């Protein structure tokens, strides 16, 4: 059976960096999309969302040609669920998969929506802790710097889009443009966006870390010296 052409690939896109998002496209045509704003429900809802998109498009998992996974940047738990789901599908179906930067998808949305996008612009998403994930792009939507995580005050003073654009008006120059990721665009553009590799873009160390110093189980000398006397008084 001949391989499908690049224009005819049936692509499933999954991203959980900002919302729970699933997109299905064949070539340049979006077949189905599903989104869920509640990231706390990603573990329970993501796989059913994938199957609903496939069913609604009249295809089965075996029809897929490629899985595109959003690698973030984003929080550890959210990214882990989305990437693990994409990898599980690709492995079970013996499909190729590629990772893309979530911010790149939002940049592609801006370029697709505007005939004259800014010469340079920033895509920002919420990193919490009064910080944002961000990257800088040229007018073609090509990433030229980042991704980074930093306080909003350290983001370049450029037109800014994305879910984080409106969070810190004193520091970010929010302009009209996408505020949520479009999984349909991700499915269409995913095969040609810059390959982000296979490593999730956490950008932060996990909050839970292994202790670097062993705890002693021995009593301090002063405490050990008092023990016999204590036993004598009991």
Alpha helices (runs of H) in 94-182, residue ranges in sequence order: 102-113
Q: pLDDT tens, 184-216?
A: 999 999 999 999 999 999 998 654 445 455 544
**How sure is the predictor about 47, in pLDDT bands with cuts at 50, 70 and 90?**
very high
Instruction: Using the predicted structure, report yes or no on whether residue 232 has a pLDDT greater than 60.
Output: no
* CB contact at 8 A, 42 and 97: no
Q: What is the pLDDT of residue 208?
A: 44
State CA 35 to chain mean position distance: 14
CA-only gyration radius of the chain, Å:
23
Angle between helices 42-57 and 76-93 (to 10 degrees): 40
Confidence of residue 27 (pLDDT cuts 50, 70, 90): confident
Per-residue confidence (pLDDT) for residue 115, from 0 to 100: 85
For residue 101, the Cα-to-chain-centroid distance in whole angstroms is 7
Over 80: is that where the pLDDT of 3 sits?
no
**pLDDT tens digits, residue range 87-113?**
999 999 999 999 999 999 999 999 999
List the domain range (segments joined by +) for residue 114. Answer: 104-174
Cα end-to-end span (Å), the chain: 86
pLDDT of residue 94: 97
Q: Quick one: pLDDT at residue 44?
A: 82
Rounded Cα distance, 71 and 66, in Å: 16
Instruction: State the alpha helices, DSSP H only, in 94-218.
Output: 102-113, 183-189
Q: pLDDT, tens digit, for every residue of 129-146?
A: 999 999 999 999 999 999
Query: Look-up: residue for tokens 């998808």?
Result: 105
Let me know: does 179 contact 165? Beta carbons within 8 Å. yes
**Residue 164 per-residue DSSP state:** T
Same domain assignment for residues 23 and 92: yes
Flag whether 169 is in a domain. Answer: yes
How many whole angstroms separate alpha carbon 191 and alpha carbon 188? 7
Q: Are 80 and 112 in the same domain?
A: no
Which of 130, 147, 174 is at the close of a domain?
174
Is residue 94 domain-shared with residue 114, that is, in the same domain? no
Alpha-carbon distance of 10 to 32, in angstroms, equals 11
Cα distances (angstroms) measured from residue 218 to each of 37, 201, 214, 215, 228: 51, 42, 12, 9, 16
With a cut of 90, say whether residue 161 has pLDDT above it. Answer: yes
Any idea which of 27-31, 76-80, 148-152, 203-207 has the lowest mean pLDDT? 203-207
Question: Which of the two residues, 48 and 78, has the higher pLDDT score?
Answer: 48
Does 32 share its domain with 64?
A: yes
Check whether 5 has a pLDDT greater than 70.
Answer: no
Co-location of 155 and 141 in the same domain:
yes
Q: Phi and psi at residue 79, in whole multiples of 5°? A: -65, -40
Phi-psi region of 132 (alpha: psi -120 to 50; beta: other; left: phi over 0): beta
- The reply to whether 58 falls in a domain is yes
Is the domain of 146 the same as that of 129?
yes
Q: Are 96 and 10 contained in the same domain?
A: yes
């Amino acid at each position: 059976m001949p391989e499908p052409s690049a224009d005819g690939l049936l692509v499933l896109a999954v991203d959980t960096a900002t919302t729970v998002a699933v997109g299905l496209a064949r070539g340049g045509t979006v077949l189905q999309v599903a989104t869920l704003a509640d990231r706390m429900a990603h573990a329970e809802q993501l796989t059913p969302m994938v199957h609903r998109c496939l069913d609604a498009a009249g295809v089965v998992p075996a029809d897929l040609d490629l899985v595109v996974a959003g690698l973030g940047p984003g929080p550890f738990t959210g990214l882990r669920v989305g990437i693990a789901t994409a990898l599980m599908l690709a492995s079970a179906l013996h499909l190729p998969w590629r990772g893309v930067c979530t911010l790149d998808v939002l940049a592609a949305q801006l370029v697709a929506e505007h005939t004259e996008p800014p010469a340079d612009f920033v895509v920002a998403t919420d990193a919490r802790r009064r910080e944002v994930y961000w990257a800088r792009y040229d007018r073609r939507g090509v990433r030229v710097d980042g991704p980074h995580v930093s306080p909003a005050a350290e983001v370049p003073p450029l037109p800014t889009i994305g879910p984080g654009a409106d969070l810190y008006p004193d520091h970010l120059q929010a302009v009209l443009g996408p505020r949520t990721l479009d999984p349909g665009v991700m499915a269409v553009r995913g095969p040609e966006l810059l390959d982000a590799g296979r490593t999730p873009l956490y950008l932060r160390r996990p909050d839970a870390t292994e202790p670097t110093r062993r705890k002693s189980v021995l009593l301090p000398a002063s405490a050990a010296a008092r023990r016999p006397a204590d036993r004598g008084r009991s």
